[in-house]
Amino acid sequence: LRIEAAELIVARLPLKFRFETSFGVQTEKVIPLLVLHGDGLQGVSEGTMEFAPMYREETIAGALNLLREVFLPRVLGRTFANPEALNDALGTFRGNRMARAMVEMAAWDLWARQLDVPLGTLLGGRRTEVEVGVSLGIQPDAAATVDVVRRHVEQGYRRIKLKIKPGWDVQPVRAVREAFPDIRLTVDANSAYTLADTARLRALDDFDLTYIEQPLAWDDLVDHAELQRRLRTPLCLDESVTSAQDARKGLALGAGGVINVKVARVGGHAEARRVHDVAQAFGAPVWCGGMLESGIGRAHNIHLSTLPNFALPGDTSSASRYWQTDLIHEPLEAAGGLMPVPAGAGTGVTLNREFLAGVAELHEERRD
């Protein structure tokens, strides 16, 4: 695995929908990409940190700085036995897992292309399609919520996840549950509650939710364990699991019964697989989350989701929901709630360089 050169790209794309969560409203996406070159092939990854530190603490500006000054100099011009050996070269650094994951994930794509196998197969997955659901932002009212749920249920999505926040929780959930008694329904609070809201959260126990995602603080496991003792509905950890060790501690404490695995949040594919394995040992299902990725990140997510303990539908819905034009050539479209795994080596998708040139606000090449 020889790393000869790297391209750092930042693109800006308008979202097709207004995405409101407990931490704000999003109408466009700033998308950092990393392309690693070696032996005539390219591996590509997408950064999932955001412009501002709203979901976790990482930012795009911080990631670009670390990639230029610290991470890329550690790998450029070097040869590694495999992506895990490459990741070891970054392993002494603390935190900043999303920034490190950009290097690791591009290396996995490049390595799988060199071996001429699909990335999912290389990770140990066997599926050719994966089950998907959708994550729906906060809507203006209950009627609009039921409407947007109906549209996505009709498209075949296998799980509906509603974003909630204090003051917008029981009401939309009740409306949706009454309209759709049998769908697999979940909620995601993105850390908007505290233990003082226990009564409010306990009211959600009445709606047969598959799980309540990240109700409490983004860096907490202990209060989640206390809350879980007070609720029947399983909690699903998202923000507060950044590693397999976090997963072990969270599950051992009883902080939840489900984990949302986001590859970049935990530092890349190898760590994501370890989170998957730890959860499996605890008998806890995992599912693959999303960060409104372009086709590059989406393809990585789909490949990871081919592992066996991805036992619940992920957030990796059709690319056409998000973008008028995606950054890749291949369509990533689900049908009947199943997303086909892109065929071919690596992620199986390729950058649309011509379109990218028109939406890139930064494009630089780095060499050793």
| Contacts to ligand OSB by CB under 6 A | 55, 135, 188, 190, 238, 289-292, 315, 317
Amino acid identity, position 281: A
**Toward Mg ion, which CB reaches closer, 188 or 293?**
188
Q: For the chain, give me the number of helices (H) and strands (E)?
A: 14, 13
User: Measured from the CB of residue 289, what is the shortest distance to ligand OSB in angstroms?
Assistant: 5
256 CB contacts (<8 Å, ≥6 apart)? 211, 224, 228, 234, 235, 236, 237, 250, 284
* β-pair type (286-288, 258-261): parallel
**Toward ligand OSB, which CB reaches closer, 120 or 313?**
313
Q: Which does 291 bind (CB under 5 to 8 A by kind): Mg ion, ligand OSB, none?
A: ligand OSB
Q: Which does 225 bind (CB under 5 to 8 A by kind): ligand OSB, Mg ion, none?
A: none
Q: Which does 135 bind (CB under 5 to 8 A by kind): Mg ion, ligand OSB, none?
A: ligand OSB
Q: Which does 271 bind (CB under 5 to 8 A by kind): ligand OSB, Mg ion, none?
A: none
**Toward ligand OSB, which CB reaches closer, 8 or 332?**
332
User: Measured from the CB of residue 17, what is the shortest distance to ligand OSB in angstroms?
Assistant: 10
List the catalytic residues. Answer: 163, 262
DSSP 286: E
Give the binding site for Mg ion (CB under 5 A). 188, 213, 238
Q: Which single residue brings its beta carbon nearest to ligand OSB?
A: 290
CA 324 to each of CA 13, 28, 320: distance values in angstroms, whole numbers, following the listed order: 9, 12, 7
Rounded to 5 degrees, what angle do the CA atoms 87, 243, 280 make?
Answer: 110
User: Measured from the CB of residue 348, what is the shortest distance to Mg ion in angstroms?
Assistant: 26
**Toward ligand OSB, which CB reaches closer, 173 or 345?**
173
Report yes or no: 276 and 247 within 8 Å, Cβ to Cβ: no
Q: Which does 130 bind (CB under 5 to 8 A by kind): ligand OSB, Mg ion, none?
A: none
DSSP assignment of 170-223: HHHHHHHHHH-TTS-EEEE-TT---GGGHHHHHHGGGG--S-EE--S-TT-SHH
User: Measured from the CB of residue 223, what is the shortest distance to Mg ion in angstroms?
Assistant: 17
Q: Which does 315 bind (CB under 5 to 8 A by kind): Mg ion, ligand OSB, none?
A: ligand OSB
- The partner residues of 29 in beta bridges, in order of sequence, read 13
* Tokens 């709606």, located at residue: 207
Measured in whole angstroms, how far is the alpha carbon of residue 32 from the centre of its chain?
15
**Toward ligand OSB, which CB reaches closer, 50 or 84?**
50
Neighbour order of strands in the sheet with 24-38: 41-46, 24-38, 5-21, 360-367
User: Measured from the CB of residue 274, what is the shortest distance to ligand OSB in angstroms?
Assistant: 20
In total, the chain counts a number of residues equal to 368
**Toward ligand OSB, which CB reaches closer, 36 or 334?**
334
User: Measured from the CB of residue 290, what is the shortest distance to ligand OSB in angstroms?
Assistant: 2
**Toward ligand OSB, which CB reaches closer, 228 or 317?**
317
Beta strands per DSSP E along the chain: 5-21, 24-38, 41-46, 129-131, 134-136, 160-163, 185-188, 212-213, 235-237, 258-261, 286-288, 338-340, 360-367
User: Measured from the CB of residue 218, what is the shortest distance to Mg ion in angstroms?
Assistant: 10
Q: Which does 290 bind (CB under 5 to 8 A by kind): ligand OSB, Mg ion, none?
A: ligand OSB
272 CB contacts (<8 Å, ≥6 apart)? 261, 262, 263, 266, 304
